[in-house]
Structure 1
Amino acid sequence: MNQTLQELDYKKVFHYFTEISAVPRGSKHNTAISNYLVEYAKSKGITYRQDEYENVVMIKEATPGYENAPALILQGHMDMVCEKTNDCTHDFLAEGIELFVDGDLIHADRTTLGGDDGVALAYILALFDDDTLKHPRLEAIITTDEETGMDGAIGLDVSDLKGKLLLNIDSEGEGTLLTSSAGGLTATCELPLKRITKKGLKVIIAISDLQGGHSGAEIHKNRVNATKLMARLLFELREAMDYCLEEYNGGLKDNAIPRDSKAEIVIEEDEYDRFADILGGLSRKYKNEFITNEPELTVGVMKGEEGEYKVLHPTSFEKLLFILLNTPNGVQSMSSAIPGLVESSLNLGIFHMEDEKAVICFSVRSSVNSYKEFISKQLAYICEFMGGEFVVRGQYPAWEFKKDSPFREYLSKVFEEEYKKEPKLEAIHAGLECSFFAEKVPGIDMVALGPDMWDIHTPKERLSLSSAVRVYKYVEKVIEGMKNL
């Protein structure tokens, strides 16, 4: 354990965060972390179950005097988004996250930290390990694959749970209690490709060093999508000179704004100097346009070898470029009911080309289900018009604001007692698993919270250590005060 973390630790929160970070736990690769949670429960004599989705549920019965207090569900997810910088060789499938402390901040080495949602796991394990804590029946739900469609929450059986109050620990802002979240879906367009043989000089174009970010939490910050910018570059380059496209890709996660994109084109060998001049002009133009929101934007080029390449047939290239240029992206509408809240958005998150098809993956979010469906139909229309196949998967509903929420009122009261000020009550544009528990548990009353974190889903992700401790202490007060609810 990092020496600084050991010195700052409170009730073993950072001890467990360190242990969790040592376990590879990228989405769709849940076995190791799920089994770690099971072994933890066994070692502590905690009642648990692990289901076919690798979700883990743990139960700790009420301490004396709290038998009649309402049961509390503590909820978070075990998977993390695995993003890294281009120069990082970290293997997310085999290696854990190495933690670094810089003042009050904890971060990783050129990778995502996994504070989203390692904080929830650390809190839950520390709370269940604390035999001095006075508490009602605690029911912990730790789900899988939240970041890639919430499959764990969808498949979870809650029939053995008694809790009607749920505290979701999957937010990134101390002092804010979340009261609703957007619904969403993941959609994929597959476009057939035809290739022809072309002789010429290969040139590799790379767009890099964009900010990226969570497509729910940062979508309103006008961050540039690297895949969309590359489509613009190819479009404007095509207007200036002839070339053929061999490869093109960008983005790793549908819910992360792409930070990097790469295209491999084939040109006539004697056209390289002209190409370099044109690309230099485009690079300067983009840097000037995005100097404020993307100050680190880099447009790089590498000269390849002359040879024979399998490039896109002109018709396939035009269809692909049309889709990438014309599909909507980013904020689509703002809420008229809640000032400053994004109502509907989408993110072109993953794009890659294979020999015979291109795969384009979108994450669509909206707090209005009908508009979410319209965006999906709009994408399908463009994709299918160009001869592609459109598939929707991973739909999840909105978590609607509950006007009458005694649990929210109680959390606000405890917050005022601890912080000497009122909490912010907010809706969030990102999706939360609360939406599924609202459907699975009739009458459930929920609030989401978390400590200060920044730039989640990017290698710049940071967690405030002092905030993590303060929020944990607040959760302790909430739990201990439930005796009289």
Structure 2
Amino acid sequence: MSELSQLSPQPLWDFFAKICSIPHPSYHEEALATFIVNWASSQQLWCERDTTGNILIRKPATPGMENRKPVALQAHLDMVPQKNNATEHDFARDPIQPWVDGEWLKARGTTLGADNGIGMASALAVLADESVEHGPLEVLLTMTEEAGMEGAFGLQPNWLQAEILINTDSEEEGEVYMGCAGGIDFLSELPIQREAIPANAHTYEISIKGLRGGHSGADIHLGLGNATKLLARFFAEYGTQLELSLLDFKGGNLRNAIPREASAIVAVSHEKEALLQQVLGDYLSILQNEVAPKDKQVTLEAKPAAYSGLALTADSRDRFINLLNVTPNGVIRNSDVAQGVVETSLNIGIVVLEDEQAKIFCLIRSLIDSGKAYVVSMLHSLGALAGAKTEASGSYPGWQPDANSAIMGLTREIYLKLFGKKPSIQVIHAGLECGLFRKPYPHLDMVSIGPTITGPHSPDEQVHIGSVALYWQLLTALLKAIPTK
């Protein structure tokens, strides 16, 4: 943490160091929330939590700026917990270990939590730094955004006083966001039957590792490998030839992260062991040709593994593998309206085999409701063909762009004055909470800004240190320039 104390702007980095020191993955934000509430109380700031756990802090305007439009700075409290398999880390107990690597800040073997910890730290730093000029100010920190936007769903009307909301959850300095995709969760549950492992068969764990993974919205257009899909493809192509019995399968652990690793336990006869190693080499060569330009560290291997359970029957194995292999993944359609932006996508996030069923968890995103509905319909149809029970749930709306947004126009103007160039006005394919804020607060004029963060939702997450300073400069200048009521 001492490295962070040397960075500028210091108030922001000091808060981020504290945030890293307090575990706060989704559903484990309470310790961090308690720290923030206690800090606000020590600063004699008005602070309140709602029934969902969201935090709202108010700070009076800088003297002479009381007649400005009230503004809310908004961030979410939780972070995505992802780590490399070789990293020993309990996200509910262990602090994040940030370190400086040249121009970037990274974490040791885990996600960094710059998404949305930098935004949260910037909001708290504005509250703490008396040199920042602003009108009537609120800071809204929401609960459990990464696991279903629960805080935003639970936000009640008549709590915020703000007329303008600045969301701090964007991840590219120089881009100003005025819209985002909506999303919906989808679960397929396929009944399976099991039987004894064939006599004299040897058990192996086949695993795909070394993929980059990433954010299932912001990175979905990059064509990164989905470990779960790649492993299902292996079984679809070689499983019959090898006469494999499938005992277990797991891939991914978050619906909104592109899976970096997947593994399966299989049983194979002694006569087929040499062939197994041969086709593993063949398939790895295929992967290295197809995905290595982006996923340079991809590996595929089979190691002996002990297993005492039952195997899937041949019919259950084939229905599971065929369903997983045929389920689409990645970009479904690009937008005709927002050039260069994905309109609709699908991420197969988590796959697990239980004793009596296989579960496939997906996250569908789209800029338009009909795009979500189309993919939901497609997955229902695939489930029906496979004999799976299917369910869509947790739908949340997108944030429809407003070309007449005053705060968007002001942000563009301030950016041009500060840096001598126009920012890029964007619609992001990731889900921001802004769309959900529209229901209880239809009058809010909203914009989203942030520093440059790459690899969010993966252990490769990093934030560009210099971009944080530029983001802070923009944020504080924007607060100073908010017009009168």
Asked if Structure 1 and Structure 2 have the same fold, meaning a TM-score greater than 0.5 normalized by the shorter chain, the answer is yes
Moved over 6 A (4+): none
- Does the 8 Å contact 2:236/2:322 carry over to 1? no
Q: Does 1:142 align with 2:106?
A: no
SS of corresponding position for 1:160: coil
Amino acid at match of 2:335: S
CA apart distance, 1:309: 4.1
The match for 1:288 is 289
Alignment of 1:214-253 (within 5 A): 214-253=215-254
- Does the 8 Å contact 1:213/1:457 carry over to 2? yes
Q: Does 1:424 align with 2:424?
A: yes
- Looking at structure 2, the residues matched to 121 and 43 of structure 1 have their Cα atoms a distance apart, in angstroms, of 18
- Does the 8 Å contact 1:212/1:259 carry over to 2? yes
Amino acid at match of 1:40: W
Amino acid at match of 1:202: T
SS of corresponding position for 1:301: strand
Amino acid at match of 1:381: S
Amino acid at match of 2:228: T
The match for 1:160 is 159
Q: Does 1:364 align with 2:381?
A: no
CA apart distance, 1:149: 1.3
CA apart distance, 1:308: 6.0
- Does the 8 Å contact 1:197/1:308 carry over to 2? no
Structure 2 unaligned spans of 5+: none
Alignment of 1:34-49 (within 5 A): 34-49=33-48
- Does the 8 Å contact 1:237/1:279 carry over to 2? no
- Looking at structure 1, the residues matched to 84 and 108 of structure 2 have their Cα atoms a distance apart, in angstroms, of 9
SS of corresponding position for 2:206: strand
- Looking at structure 2, the residues matched to 9 and 465 of structure 1 have their Cα atoms a distance apart, in angstroms, of 9
- Does the 8 Å contact 1:11/1:130 carry over to 2? no
SS of corresponding position for 2:316: helix
The match for 2:322 is 322
- Looking at structure 1, the residues matched to 416 and 283 of structure 2 have their Cα atoms a distance apart, in angstroms, of 53
SS of corresponding position for 2:378: helix
- Does the 8 Å contact 2:203/2:265 carry over to 1? yes
- Does the 8 Å contact 1:151/1:394 carry over to 2? no
CA apart distance, 1:63: 2.3
Structure 1 unaligned spans of 5+: none
Pairwise CA RMSD: 1.4
CA apart distance, 1:228: 0.4
CA apart distance, 1:168: 0.3
Amino acid at match of 1:254: R
- Does the 8 Å contact 2:399/2:435 carry over to 1? yes
Amino acid at match of 2:319: K
The match for 1:186 is 185
- Does the 8 Å contact 1:227/1:250 carry over to 2? yes
CA apart distance, 1:172: 0.8
CA apart distance, 1:387: 2.2
Amino acid at match of 2:76: H
Amino acid at match of 2:180: S
CA apart distance, 1:464: 1.3
The match for 1:467 is 467
Alignment of 1:430-469 (within 5 A): 430-469=430-469
CA apart distance, 1:196: 0.5
- Does the 8 Å contact 2:47/2:58 carry over to 1? yes
- Does the 8 Å contact 1:347/1:364 carry over to 2? yes
The match for 1:355 is 355
CA apart distance, 1:53: 2.0
CA apart distance, 1:442: 1.8
Amino acid at match of 2:339: P
Deviations 1:195-214 (A, max 9, x none): 10113210110000011110
- Does the 8 Å contact 2:343/2:371 carry over to 1? no
Alignment of 1:302-341 (within 5 A): 302-305=303-306, 309-341=309-341
The match for 2:64 is 65
CA apart distance, 1:287: 1.6
CA apart distance, 1:334: 0.6
- Looking at structure 2, the residues matched to 441 and 86 of structure 1 have their Cα atoms a distance apart, in angstroms, of 43
- Does the 8 Å contact 1:174/1:450 carry over to 2? yes
- Does the 8 Å contact 1:144/1:153 carry over to 2? yes
The match for 1:409 is 409
CA apart distance, 1:447: 0.6
- Looking at structure 2, the residues matched to 447 and 219 of structure 1 have their Cα atoms a distance apart, in angstroms, of 23
Deviations 1:10-32 (A, max 9, x none): 24111000000111111122211
- Looking at structure 2, the residues matched to 483 and 404 of structure 1 have their Cα atoms a distance apart, in angstroms, of 16
SS of corresponding position for 1:232: helix
Q: Does 1:208 align with 2:175?
A: no
- Does the 8 Å contact 1:180/1:401 carry over to 2? yes
- Looking at structure 2, the residues matched to 289 and 342 of structure 1 have their Cα atoms a distance apart, in angstroms, of 22
- Does the 8 Å contact 1:135/1:483 carry over to 2? no
- Looking at structure 2, the residues matched to 175 and 278 of structure 1 have their Cα atoms a distance apart, in angstroms, of 47
CA apart distance, 1:191: 1.4
Number of positions where the alignment pairs a residue of Structure 1 with one of Structure 2 = 483
- Looking at structure 2, the residues matched to 308 and 86 of structure 1 have their Cα atoms a distance apart, in angstroms, of 23
Q: TM-score, normalised by structure 1?
A: 0.97
The match for 1:102 is 101
Amino acid at match of 1:291: A
Amino acid at match of 1:420: G
Deviations 1:56-92 (A, max 9, x none): 1111122221111100010110111111111101111
Deviations 1:140-166 (A, max 9, x none): 111111111111100012412211211
- Looking at structure 1, the residues matched to 297 and 423 of structure 2 have their Cα atoms a distance apart, in angstroms, of 35
Q: TM-score, normalised by structure 2?
A: 0.97
Amino acid at match of 2:465: L
| Percent of pairs with identical residues | 33
Residue 274 to residue 341, structure 1, CA distance change in 2 (3 Å): same
Q: Does 1:126 align with 2:107?
A: no
- Looking at structure 1, the residues matched to 101 and 157 of structure 2 have their Cα atoms a distance apart, in angstroms, of 41
The match for 1:86 is 85
Amino acid at match of 2:360: I
